[in-house]
Amino acid sequence: MSRPERIRVIPCLLLKGDGLVKTTKFKQPVYVGDPINTVKIFNEKQVDEIAVLDISASHEGMEPQFDRIAEIASEAFMPMAYGGGIRSLDQIKRLFQSGVEKIVFNTSVLTNSDLITKAADQFGSQSIVASIDAKRSLLGGYHCVTHGGRVKHKRKPADLVRQAVDSGAGEVLLNSVDRDGTQAGYDIELIASVTSSVSVPVIACGGAGQVSDFAAAVQDGGAAAVAAGSMFVFHGVHRAVLVNFPDEKVLQEQLFDRLANKTINTRS
């Protein structure tokens, strides 16, 4: 799959109630701020797009917080994806009407693939994202989890991704549970196992701690885009809450130029 000239760098925000939290390995949610204020800061930083995932909705059987989501989307000057508690086409239509540009499915990839197909048929595959949460197995390899990591499935990530794409998903958000919130770098082996299985863009998520991690996810893992949470809401070794985003100059030198040079050297 050919690489776009500019790699999308996406803040992934976790919504819990009215506020944003950040987890570590899908556990221990820490409050990091108000979503409206956070989005305003990302507006100023001119980020490519954002993803807002409600981590309580599916687990607690709730539907999306439509008013809150519309409020967040109205403040976002960049494309916004949303996932959490989505169970019907009517909900999806309402979310699009509120300003959301992409719908993220997680649990439904396993439990309701027909909804993904119907949504893709009605709204287009380019607006449908399959979110796959993967965890390394004790005996090697990977398995998938849902409901915020609470429910384990035997399906391998690559198999589930292929199913999601066959159902109509036009993009994949691949999240490593083991790397979530650690800032220890992406799981390149996991990313590569999925990107080699499908032709749609794969967004790597889980583990980013520095811009060089973005480059590794693309260069070594084959990701088409990168997402991060902790890196954009914490600062320093003590993880003080501070919404931030790399300067354009840093991204240019450590990500875009590095990838461009790699492509040139490969072709030489």
Spatial distance between the Cα atoms of 158 and 194, rounded to a whole number of angstroms: 5
DSSP assigned state of 25: T
Specify whether the CB–CB gap between 163 and 127 falls below 8 A: no
Separation of CA 160 from chain center: 16
What are the residue numbers of the active site?
133
Specify whether the CB–CB gap between 56 and 83 falls below 8 A: no
Spatial distance between the Cα atoms of 252 and 218, rounded to a whole number of angstroms: 14
Spatial distance between the Cα atoms of 216 and 21, rounded to a whole number of angstroms: 26
What residues does 2 pair with on adjacent strands?
A: none
Spatial distance between the Cα atoms of 195 and 3, rounded to a whole number of angstroms: 12
Spatial distance between the Cα atoms of 157 and 141, rounded to a whole number of angstroms: 10
Residue 129: which residues within 8 A CB-CB, separation 6 or more?
81, 83, 102, 103, 104, 105, 169, 170, 171, 172, 173, 203
The dihedrals phi and psi of 63, each to the nearest 5 degrees, come to: -90, 170
